[in-house]
Amino acid sequence: MHCASAPTFAKSCPATPMTSSPPYNSNRPSSIFLLNPYPSQTSPILSPTSTLFSLGNTYMPIRPSSLLAQTRLCFQPLDLHTRTHWSKMAAAPPPKRPIKILMLHGYTQSGPLFQAKTGALRKTLQKAFPAGIELVYPTAPIRLTPADESWLAGTSRDAAADGSGGAENQEQELDAWAWWKRKSLGDQGGYVYDGIEGCFEALASVLRKSGPFDGVVGFSQGGAVAAMLASVLEPRRREAFEKKIESGGMPFPAAFIPTADTVSAIHPPLKFAVVYSGFLPQGASPYAAFYDPKIQTPVLHFLGSQDVVVEEKRSLALVEACEKSGERYVVYHPGGHFLPSTQKASVNALVGFIKEVLWEGEAKGEDEGVEGMDVPF
């Protein structure tokens, strides 16, 4: 399987189920494309140069190393579907027109801070898309106080992503922002996302003023928002929300409902979404309509193999909630809770994914430059 000049691939045979993990694929055909998160480690199964392999219909790992160690997978070299898919992704030409991407920061960050942190990625994307690329970095609507950042002092790791704060007696303002804050329901159990309506009002404003966009990229809480935004812009999603209201679901975001001034949809469906360290709301949730039916927008998921902020099972739950033509895209990078903007393999996966999605749209006659989209701006 070793190959020094190109990625090598493998297909899993039926695996011995891990009793500690539920089945990931729900017995449906699915292709999971994974970057090897441990390229520096020699493995009897995957060589150090292996960068991409397919797990097919098997169980997802608690960590990729756990999967290889505990599920007794056997591998067959060079799965044709995976090899062909990667070749298509790598060979896809860049679009001949400028593209525009919405960039959503994480909890406690801001648009300018996220822009600074992704400077290297921005330069790489500018080279990869010579016709032009514009990245728009809005700031979330909720300004945080030191109390909201109490998780930094050692409270639950979920707070770092979901946005639950501490005591409310510290009102000093910080240059730290959130798309929502997680609010416990106390004795009722569970929680809600306080401010999520304002989140979508802010997003609608950005779409009107700075859009239209080809796709969205989000990190952590912004990654969760990116998936929600892709969902809410899909056709017939409003009907899904209406069906969930009787069982306690949130209403369809009012800012995305057409009015007399916006007789058509606020924005066309996104062509793609990219989620770094994203997650799904936990437990019985009023936000189920975002994910049922599954998100059909092509979504690329990045997970840090050493991420201790967002639980892997929550990120994988979001992966499970996204499905386009039976395929899901997952990249494990060998790091923690951050956006790997300088890791060549991860950046190549991002560039290849965007090129492939836009190229397929052009081939089907569905692609249209953002300047030509029929939207009420």
Active site residue 162: no
Q: Annotated catalytic residue: which of 79, 214, 307, 367?
A: 307
Q: Annotated catalytic residue: which of 12, 164, 220, 315?
A: 220
Distance of CA 140 to the CA centre of its chain: 17
What letter represents residue 91's amino acid? Answer: A
| CB atoms near residue 298 (< 10 Å) | 25
Q: Annotated catalytic residue: which of 85, 105, 301, 337?
A: 337
Q: Give the C-alpha separation, 57 to 24, whole Å.
A: 8
Q: What is the dihedral of CA 194, 198, 203, 204, to 10 degrees?
A: 140
Contact 321, 278 (CB under 8 A): no
Q: What is the DSSP letter of 254?
A: G
Contact 256, 208 (CB under 8 A): no
Active site residue 214: no
Cα–Cα separations (whole angstroms), residue 56 to 131, 157, 198, 342 = 36, 31, 39, 29
Active site residue 175: no
* DSSP string across 11-52: EEPPPPPPTTS--SSTTS--EEEEE-S-TTS--SSS-TT--E
Q: What are the beta bridge partners of residue 100? A: 134
Mode of pairing for the β-strands spanning 52-54 and 181-184:
unpaired
Q: Give the C-alpha separation, 222 to 220, whole Å.
A: 5
Residue from 190, 191, 166, 160 nearest 178 by CA: 160
Sequence-distant (≥ 6) Cβ neighbours of residue 123 within 8 angstroms: none
Catalytic residues: 220, 307, 337
